[in-house]
Homo-oligomer: A and B are copies of this chain.
Amino acid sequence: MPDTPPIPPLRLREFLPYRLSVLSNTISRRIAELYDREFGLSIWQWRVMAVTGDAPGISATEIGQRTAMDKVAVSRAVAGLIELGYLERKAAEEDGRRSKLYLTRTGQSVYDEIVPMAMAEEQALEAVLTPDERRELTRLMEKLAGSASPDRPLW
Q: Which residues of A contact B (CB under 8 A)?
A: 2, 4-13, 15-31, 34, 47, 50-51, 53-54, 56-57, 66-68, 111-112, 115-116, 118-122, 124-129, 133, 136-138, 140-141, 143-150, 154-155
Contacts and interface: CB of A to CB of B under 8 A. Distances in A.
Contacts of A129: 140, 143-144
A2 B30 CA distance: 33
A18 B6 contact: no
Report the copy number of this chain in the oligomer: 2
Contacts of A51: 12
B143 A7 contact: no
A27 B23 contact: no
Nearest to A124: B155
A107 to B, nearest CB: 12
A129 B143 CA distance: 7
A155 to B, nearest CB: 7
A128 B147 contact: yes
B2 A56 contact: yes
A122 B16 contact: yes
A129 B145 CA distance: 11
A133 B136 CA distance: 9
B122 A26 contact: no
Contact of A150 (B26, B124, B147, B155): B26
A112 to B, nearest CB: 5
